[in-house]
Chain A
């Protein structure tokens, strides 16, 4: 039995808004509704869902930024809302749209401030930063003011800053948002390495399916604050693959693509009905994970 480092039970968060200047009562919005799940040590879990599904709210609840309306949670064995400061020492958090680096000052200054916040001596912080900078390719940015960094460079520095105190649990809220292909690749490789080599538990929210495929083993899908699905990435593909894409490359250079609904017709029977004399090559592909997730979102919204 593996240790459960994140244990969520019946977690709910509601926000209340006034109906209007002269109206009595308030409108309630349930951002998270009765959410329960657990994550084992060293596991990489993708927390996915359409915009407004409650992903970020859940991350903020588990990192003690928000107080829940009801429910309980244990993160690293701690209650996030009673042990905020102890929890902060055990977790690392990266919000794609937020920065913990000081805008006008060199990266070095922010690193030393974070080191002081976590009671890490400067020499150890610098050594750790050096290790991280080699993997994340940020070695040359030590003395560069944050305002002069590109988005990709800044995000890699953010990740390194979040790992300075060697957290055992890492929360990443859309860490690859706005990054170019190479920056995304570096980040994904790094996160995968961090999980396998250091056994860091990763909970990642992202709209980029490659993040999920490359980094995570498990997917939790939520929609309108409710858990819709909790399965492995591999199982997700197996269970929800209802289509195959068949590409036929013809003698004259044309290429035709067919989407075969496998529950109605097998690929084999499709090919039997096709005139293969004109064909020079055939490819058969599964739909990308993105399409599977899109289908899940749509069916989830209909269901809701």
Chain B
């Protein structure tokens, strides 16, 4: 039975990608421009680090790794789970979620995996490239980096699931939840060392951008076992918590009658 489910989701992801590649010129343009955009951003930060050398103990390599982790985890969401977030929020708000409820598959993952954003490949290449270029991936840290990557992906998914589910509980919140997600993503893009005291506590608990931007570098630089344990536990808790929150909200779903087509 488990194999069959994997089969469905493998095919679903394949189809959502195929649909996104239907316009080939657009696909290549978005991929290339995403890499260029990520590199331009890094040039800006390089100039900054050239002037200040370190920011609260972080050097440019630390920042490169953090950005690479952030961008590559983000790319997993855009490539495989792009339905979660703004698209799903719109479906919920407009009452267009019926199709997923009528399918004998997991509603949340079905809706999440049916959209793929081709620019994600650009982010993925740039993100992995940055992590390698940072020099922080070695044979001894490789296993930890994989765990950090999985945790970062779980965080992005959790935040998206959570923000999407808000649309079940409150009406007309698509713009708000979209903005909140980009605030989260923006915070993840700054060097984690700038956040101290209460801001740091806030970011590793309630608004968990710090699980991507602060803790991974602390784990790598100081080889902190407890921090890695906290990070893994928090990411998993957040992930399952967001799924629970989503399914509770689903009971409040109100279907609509707009004429719609798939894709």
Known contacts: A65-B98, A109-B15. The answer to whether A117 contacts B103 by CB under 8 A is yes
Question: How many angstroms between the C-alpha atoms of A66 and B101 in the bound complex?
Answer: 9
Question: How many angstroms between the C-alpha atoms of A110 and B99 in the bound complex?
Answer: 13
Out of A86, A99, A103, A113, name the residue touching B12 (CB < 8 Å).
Answer: A113
Question: How many angstroms between the C-alpha atoms of A116 and B113 in the bound complex?
Answer: 14
Known contacts: A65-B255, A109-B15, A109-B18. The answer to whether A93 contacts B102 by CB under 8 A is yes
Residue of chain B at shortest CB distance from A154: B261
**A60 and B255 within 8 A (CB):** yes
Chain A: minimal CB distance from B21 (Å): 10
Residue of chain B at shortest CB distance from A120: B4
Interface size class of A (residues with CB under 8 A): 35 or more
Question: How many angstroms between the C-alpha atoms of A95 and B101 in the bound complex?
Answer: 13
A226 at the interface (CB under 8 A from B): no
Q: Residue among B18, B98, B259 with the most chain A CB within 10 A? A: B98
Out of A15, A93, A102, A118, name the residue touching B254 (CB < 8 Å).
Answer: A15
B263 surroundings in chain A (CB, below 8 A): 102-105, 146
Residue-wise, chain B 1-29 has the 8 Å CB interface mask toward A (1 for contact) of 00010011001100100110010000000
Chain B: minimal CB distance from A242 (Å): 34
Residue-wise, chain B 68-110 has the 8 Å CB interface mask toward A (1 for contact) of 0000000000000000000000000000101101111100000
A66 surroundings in chain B (CB, below 8 A): 253-255
Known contacts: A105-B19, A113-B15, A116-B11. The answer to whether A99 contacts B260 by CB under 8 A is yes
**B22 and A104 within 8 A (CB):** yes
- A81-129 contacts to B, CB under 8 A, are 84-86, 88-89, 93, 95, 97-105, 109-110, 112-113, 116-119
Known contacts: A97-B258, A99-B260. The answer to whether A88 contacts B103 by CB under 8 A is yes
A190 at the interface (CB under 8 A from B): no
Question: How many angstroms between the C-alpha atoms of A173 and B101 in the bound complex?
Answer: 16
Residue-wise, chain B 217-256 has the 8 Å CB interface mask toward A (1 for contact) of 0000000000000000000000000000000000111110
B7 surroundings in chain A (CB, below 8 A): 116
Residue-wise, chain A 28-55 has the 8 Å CB interface mask toward B (1 for contact) of 0000000000000000000000000000
Question: How many angstroms between the C-alpha atoms of A99 and B11 in the bound complex?
Answer: 19
**B102 and A101 within 8 A (CB):** no
B138 at the interface (CB under 8 A from A): no
**B260 and A98 within 8 A (CB):** yes
Known contacts: A65-B102, A88-B102, A105-B19. The answer to whether A100 contacts B262 by CB under 8 A is yes
Residue of chain B at shortest CB distance from A162: B102
A200 at the interface (CB under 8 A from B): no
Out of B4, B19, B251, B257, name the residue touching A119 (CB < 8 Å).
Answer: B4
**B98 and A95 within 8 A (CB):** yes
B102 surroundings in chain A (CB, below 8 A): 63-65, 88, 93, 100
For chain B, the count of residues having a C-beta within 8 Å of the partner chain is 29
B251 surroundings in chain A (CB, below 8 A): 67
A56 at the interface (CB under 8 A from B): yes
**A65 and B101 within 8 A (CB):** yes
Residue-wise, chain A 141-182 has the 8 Å CB interface mask toward B (1 for contact) of 000001100000000000000000000000000000000000
Known contacts: A104-B22, A118-B104. The answer to whether A99 contacts B98 by CB under 8 A is no
Question: How many angstroms between the C-alpha atoms of A57 and B258 in the bound complex?
Answer: 14
A100 surroundings in chain B (CB, below 8 A): 99, 102, 262
A89 surroundings in chain B (CB, below 8 A): 104
**A84 and B15 within 8 A (CB):** no
Question: How many angstroms between the C-alpha atoms of A136 and B26 in the bound complex?
Answer: 36
Question: How many angstroms between the C-alpha atoms of A144 and B257 in the bound complex?
Answer: 27
Residue of chain B at shortest CB distance from A94: B102
Interface residues of B (CB under 8 A from A): 4, 7-8, 11-12, 15, 18-19, 22, 96, 98-99, 101-105, 251-255, 257-263
